[in-house]
Chains A and B, each alone.
Chain A
Amino acid sequence: MGDVQFRFREDEPVADPGVTVDVFGSQTNATAVRLEPGDDARDLLPYLDRLKLIEVNFPVFTDGRGFSSARVLREAGYTGELRAVGELPVDHLALLRRCGFDAFAPDPPVNPVDAENAFARFAEVYQPTTDGRAPIWAKRHG
C-alpha cells in the first residue's frame, strides 16, 4: 500500500491502518476501517462517531464504487479522515476530492505537479456534493 501523498486536513493522521469491515464488526475499539469495493458503506453508519479514519480501497481504477461509498459516508455526517487508497490515477484525484475524500494514498504515487494541476483545474462545478463548493446553478441564482 502506498503512503499518504496528499492530505487536506489539519488534524494528526491516524497511524494505524484500517481493519477490514469483518474485523471491525467484532473489534469494538477499532477507530480505523478499510472498505473494499464490495463492502456496503452504510454498514458503518452506526459507528461513525468513533471512527477517525475510513480508508476506501480502489484495487483497480476502473471500479468506481468507492466514489459512491465516500458520498454515502459524508452525507451521513462522517467528519473523520476519508482516505482513498490503491490505484488512483492523477486524473481521478479532483473527482475523488469532490466526493468527500480528504486524503489520498495513490499506489503507485503520482507526479505531484500533475496532481496540483488536477486538484486546481476546474474553478466551477455543476453539481453540489458534500465538498462545500457552490454549484454553478447556485451562483446563477445567488
Chain B
Amino acid sequence: MYKYDTYDQAMVDTRVEEFRDQVKRRLEGHLSEDHFKPLRLQNGLYLQLHAYMLRVAVPYGTLSSAQMRVLGDIADTYDRGYGHFTTRQNIQYNWIQLDQTPDLLAELAKVEMHAIQTSGNCIRNISSDQYAGAAADELVDPRPYAELLRQWSSFHPEFLVLPRKFKIAVIASETDRAAMKLHDIGIRIVKNAAGEIGAAFYVGGGMGRTPMIAPLIREFVPLDQLITYSEACLRVYNRYGRRDNKYKARIKILVHELGKDEYTRQVEEEFAHLLTQGIEPPLAELERIKAHFPDPAYEAGASDELDRSDPDFALWVDRNCAAHKQPGYMIATISLKPVGGIPGDASADQMRLMADLGLKYSFDELRVTHAQNIVLPHVRKADLYTVWQALEANGLGTPNLDAIDDIIACPGLDYCSLANARSIPVAQKLSARLAPRRAEIGELKLKISGCINACGHHHAGHIGILGVDRKGTENYQLLLGGCEGDDTSLGTITGPGFSEDGIVDAIETATQVYLVNKQGEERFIDTYRRVGMAPFKEAIYG
C-alpha cells in the first residue's frame, strides 16, 4: 500500500499544526463558531447532538494493521472504546473533546493518517473497490489512480469552498462494488480499442434528497490527462454550481439543469484550456505511486484445498468469502453486523484483533467497505479456518455478507444533528427479527437513512428505509427496488410511512411476497423487477 514520503508526511504534520492553531484561536475567542465551523469540518470534526464527532479518512478504504491498531487505541484513549465505520470507507468517533482533537490528529499522523477533507464543501475522501488488488475480475488495481487524485484534491486551493460536498469513487472492475454511479464523479479505469488504459468519467450522480445516477460524460480520458480532466469538471462546477439553495448545490443538479450535453461541452472547453496550463503530473508520478501497490509475495503453489468439514465455517466461507485472483487465496469479509448489533461499530479490542489478523494472515492489509464491513483481502485458504475461529470467538464471525441483516445504517437521531429519526434501533430490530431467515431470503441489501441526506444509501437498497419527522414523531418510509453497482437503480416509495414497529412488520411482509413469487435463483431485486410494486403494495397495505 502507499507509504508517505517526506513531502506527504510534512503536509499532514503541517495540517495538524494548522488545526492546533485554529482550535487555540477558537478556544481563546478569536475565531467565531461561524468561521470555525468550515475549518473544523474540513478536519472531519462535526458538532453533533451530544458531543463532537471526528471522521478519520481511510483513503480508498485501505488500512495497514498498524493503522487499524491505532484506530483501536484512539477509540480507547479519546472515545468510549469503540468506533463506527462509515459508508465512505471512513471511521467516525462519536465522543470527542474539541481540545483533545489536535493531539488525536497528531497520533494519526504518526501512522500516515488524517481527517483532512472528510467533511465540508470540498473534495472528500476518495472511495474505491474494497477488493482492489485482489479481485479476480479487475483490469488493474484502481488504488494508484485514487492516490493520484487524493494528492491532487488535498488542499486544492481552488476547490475548498465549493457549492457543496464532492465525492469521487474510482473502480477498475467489471463488477461495481463501490456504487460508482452514485458519486459526484465516478471513474472507471478502462481499456480502449487500442489496448490503452484510461478513465471513463461519470459525472453528476448522488443520493440525498434528489437521487440521480451519473451519466457517462466521457468514455476515455488518457492517463496523462486524468488530473486535468478532473480539474475541468470541478472548475465548471465551482463556477456554475448553484449556491442559492443548499439542497440544489450538488453537481448532480448542475448537470441535470444544464443537461448532460451542455455540461460536457463546458467541461471539454475548460479541459482544452487547462491542457495548456501544465497542471498534469508526469506519468512517472503515476508509476511511482503504482510501485507502492505491488502484488503481495503470495506463496507459490499455495493449496487450493479447503477443509469444509465444520459446517459453520463452510457457511461463513460461502457467505463472506470471495474469489481471489491468486490460486490458493480468498478475500474474506469480516461482518460488523452481528445479529441485533449496531451496523458498522467495532470495539477497540475488535479493531486490534482485526489488525493482528491482517498482519498475520493478509499481508498487513485490511479494507473498509462502503457497506460498513472490514475485508482481509489476501487470506491463504490454508489459514482461513484459523482466521474464522478467531473472528467467531470475538463476535466478528457473522456469516451475513449482503444478506438481509447486513444492514447499512447511518448514525441517525441517536447521534446526528441532521437526523429526523433514529436508524440504529430500527436496524437492530430488523436484524434480530430477520437474521434467522437469512439463508432462505438470500442476497438482499437493506439500507437505512435517518433523514433525507441519505447517508445510509436508502435509495440504493433493494429495500430502503427513510426516517422522516411526521408532526413530531418518527416515521419510516419504505422504498423497494434500489440497487447499486452495474445495474444501478433508485428505489420507489411504497406508500404511506410506518411506525418503528410497523416498518419491521412491513419489511417482513415484503420478504414473504418475494419468497412466494421467487422463480429459480432470483434474488429479491430480480423478483421485484419482474413482478413490480403491485403485489408488494397489496400485501403491505392490503
Chain A residues at the B interface, C-beta cutoff of 8 Å: 37, 40, 61-65, 67-69, 71, 75, 89, 91-92, 94-96, 98-99, 111, 114, 117, 121-130, 135-137, 139-141
Contacts and interface: CB of A to CB of B under 8 A. Distances in A.
B278 interface: yes
Contacts of A135: 281
Nearest to A58: B161
Contact of B282 (A75, A92, A137): A137
Interface in B252-286: 273, 277-279, 281-282, 284-285
B284 A141 contact: yes
10 contacts: A62-B38, A63-B243, A67-B161, A67-B238, A71-B235, A92-B161, A111-B30, A122-B11, A128-B277, A136-B11
B14 interface: yes
Contacts of B18: 91, 121
Contacts of B498: none
Interface in B132-182: 151-152, 154-163
Given A95-B160, A141-B284, A126 B152 contact: yes
B471 interface: no
A64 B238 contact: yes
B285 A64 contact: no
A122 B154 CA distance: 12
B39 interface: yes
Contacts, number: 102
B154 A126 contact: yes
Nearest to A127: B156
Contact of A124 (B7, B30, B156, B160): B7
A64 B120 CA distance: 13
A113 to B, nearest CB: 11
Contact of A64 (B17, B21, B161): B161
Nearest to A129: B157
Contacts of B239: 40, 65, 68-69
A140 B158 CA distance: 23
B157 A140 contact: no
Contact of A140 (B5, B10, B39): B5
A126 B156 contact: yes
A128 B285 CA distance: 14
B288 A99 contact: no
Contacts of A75: 273, 277
A64 B160 contact: yes
Contacts of A140: 5, 7, 285, 288
Interface of B: 5, 7-8, 10-11, 14, 17-18, 21-22, 25, 30, 35, 38-39, 121, 151-152, 154-163, 235, 238-239, 243, 273, 277-279, 281-282, 284-285, 288
Given A68-B158, A117-B21, A136-B151, 19 more contacts: A40-B239, A61-B161, A64-B238, A67-B159, A91-B18, A92-B161, A95-B157, A124-B10, A124-B11, A125-B155, A126-B151, A126-B154, A128-B278, A136-B7, A137-B151, A140-B5, A140-B7, A140-B285, A141-B285
A126 to B, nearest CB: 5
B313 to A, nearest CB: 46
A137 B279 CA distance: 10
B35 A89 contact: yes
Contacts of A111: 30
Given A127-B279, A137-B285, A140-B7, A71 B158 contact: yes
B288 to A, nearest CB: 7
Contacts of A137: 151, 281-282, 285
A122 B17 CA distance: 10
A107 to B, nearest CB: 14
Nearest to A65: B239
Nearest to B32: A89
Contact of B238 (A68, A92, A94): A68
Contact of A123 (B10, B156, B273, B284): B10
Contacts of B7: 124, 136, 139-140
A129 B231 CA distance: 12
Nearest to A69: B239
Contacts of B285: 137, 140-141
A61 B10 contact: no
Nearest to B274: A75
Nearest to B25: A114
Nearest to B37: A62
Nearest to A98: B157
A36 to B, nearest CB: 12
Nearest to B38: A62
A141 B235 contact: no
B14 A99 contact: no
A100 B395 CA distance: 55
Nearest to A74: B277
B470 to A, nearest CB: 32
Nearest to A75: B277
Nearest to B154: A126
Given A68-B235, A139-B7, A140-B7, A123 B14 contact: yes
A64 B151 contact: no
A127 B282 contact: no
Contact of A65 (B30, B238, B279): B238
B158 A67 contact: yes
Nearest to A128: B279
Nearest to B161: A64
